[in-house]
A = this chain, B = another copy of it.
Amino acid sequence: MLTSVDPDLIRALGDPLRLKIVTLLARETLCTTHLIEETGAKQTNLSNHLKVLREAGLVETEPCGRFTYYRLKPEVLAGLSEQFAALAESARTAAGNKRACP
């Protein structure tokens, strides 16, 4: 179906800081300390955003001693990409379908 895109998943990516986190994680697996250095954000703030990303199913955590590593889940992003591609494709072919004025 076309209507299966999850708004919450998109919302999670709609925040600038979260988007930055995602792009950083797309390059390498990092723990919170690294993300604090890279983004300059406070630890609490970052932890909140990471929670959102976690609940959206975008990232996985991997405890490593006292540290917590965050890894992106490529399938989720790939799924999003496919759904947008499907929407684009549908929009392209349906460009001429114009419902009559009532």
Contact = CB atoms under 8 A, between A and B. Distances in A.
Q: Most chain-B Cβ atoms within 10 A of its Cβ — which of A10, A20, A31?
A: A10
Q: At the interface, is chain A mostly helix, strand, loop or mixed?
A: helix
Nearest to A76: B88
Contact of A29 (B23, B65, B67, B98): B98
A85 B75 CA distance: 10
A74 interface: yes
Interface residues of A, number: 53
Contacts of A27: 2, 90, 94, 97
B25 A99 contact: no
Given A7-B14, A7-B15, A95 B71 contact: yes
Q: Most chain-B Cβ atoms within 10 A of its Cβ — which of A16, A64, A77, A97?
A: A77
Interface string A2-21: 11010100110111100110
B2 A26 contact: yes
